A and B are shown apart, each in its own frame.
Chain A
């Protein structure tokens, strides 16, 4: 698709670029090894890891091949390739058989994952609960509400930078003061918004993408931006002689702290004094993101919020608003059902039913039961707004509006997924009863067609391989590339092919050279 994106927006891409030494350090923490195992691996890869975990001797690749049927060979190779790129397994030339390689878990990962599963050790890797008394008002609901507000402020900030008429935004902000300056800087640095003329911030195409991601991916995007910016920030802060003092923030420490946060328990207080200095320095920033809550009167404690504890779960929040909604619905005075908007844009008017009030008709009309400026602004990214009522807006998908969105880097799938995920419960029920898809198929198809129309070229960045020494060399390499799923195009006659990723091909080439 058209996601050229700045260097790394996905966790997996970020991790793949880290050097092996970093992984070795990361895997010293049981919580990290466990989080990677939980979140980053496909099922087959997990099966392999579990088998290898307690095996006293390395397996050979031939052994593993016996586990999958011939037709599953591709997914097996892909699983192994993922394990290798994350430095979970290492392959060595087998000592017992001539053909095939020995495969075993890397030492640190093995040790840490065992520790994580069995418990024991004094690594404190899963956090140290605070023994101090906890303020009874800080419960799960309170944390959800707080984190939701912070996160929505961030989203509002991104969304409000969409050029809009003054009367649309005027006075209807969701009651926040906007995110902290540091977060704003980060969003600018990450290219999610950019400074336009007159000091106004404008949303960029990556910002559009960001908005339409699911909550979990959004959090990671921001965190990865933060990790990448950490070095630059540090240098800048040092020049100004302020803010960050003490030990340099080291990426490994930061990452493993994030993975640790993900393993903590929601609604529980943890002890800040058990943290290393680097990690303590991270706390204010994490609190700006809404990942942890620190009570100002009780700075020895920190509370992970739902944003933090779901970092590595695969069943991610469908959207932030889903969890926020849950919190909001419980607040008194808000029936929480359809159309019950907390009247007329009061200062902290929470959206009545933010998650799921969109009706899509077969004639491309959209009725969104919402008063949330955030949702309206998002709809405005790809629909033409038509009328606005206190609790509802009407809009319409048009060729122009969708093309406009696609030009900004939003994909048809993102639009479709957004509409489906936020569909009105009535639509969901009707679709379930009839066994059809939630959105009208004509609309879905048309959105895709509009995308095709404006995407005349399909772009894939990567590497072209050519000038092979022999046909055999070409054939082997092309086959390997196909197996690990990076082959994009090949021409057998000319003896050249194109891959989207190059690292493992390089390794394969090296290994092959040694083998000969």
Chain B
């Protein structure tokens, strides 16, 4: 009989994946990722998904900045 393992499949770009693996090994004690499946897929423990997501967002804030969209002058002052 094959084995069935419960978890969450995460699909992302290879770059994001390597950040996730890095976070897992440095901050989370290798406790989040169950298996590195391929270039773009990871198996992650269900309970750890939120933590992982939060850490990723933190990490991306450090490194990733998007251009501000063009603002037109008369808007965006209200409320």
Contacts and interface: CB of A to CB of B under 8 A. Distances in A.
Interface string A354-383: 000000000101000000000000000000
Contact of B5 (A457, A459, A466, A473): A466
Given A458-B11, A459-B10, A459-B49, A465 B4 contact: yes
Nearest to A407: B57
B2 to A, nearest CB: 5
Contact of B9 (A399, A459, A506, A513): A459
A469 B76 CA distance: 62
Given A399-B69, A459-B9, A467-B3, A387 B56 contact: no
Contact of A387 (B49, B60, B78): B78
Interface residues of A, number: 38
B53 interface: yes
Interface string A484-509: 00001101001010100010011001
A132 B4 CA distance: 60
Contacts of A130: none
Contacts of A67: none
Contacts of A142: none
B47 to A, nearest CB: 11
A398 B23 CA distance: 31
B1 A498 contact: no
Interface residues of B, number: 33
A509 B20 CA distance: 34
A70 B72 CA distance: 56
Given A386-B78, A489-B37, A465 B10 contact: no
A462 interface: yes
Listed residue (B4, B5, B12, B37) with the most chain A CB atoms within 10 angstroms of its CB: B4
B37 A491 contact: yes
A465 B3 contact: yes
Interface string B11-32: 1110010001000000000000
Interface string A117-156: 0000000000000000000000000000000000000000
Given A385-B79, A386-B75, A498-B9, 6 more contacts: A365-B75, A384-B76, A396-B76, A458-B10, A462-B8, A466-B3
9 smallest A-B Cβ distances: which pairs? A458-B11, A386-B78, A457-B12, A460-B9, A468-B2, A463-B4, A464-B5, A385-B79, A498-B9
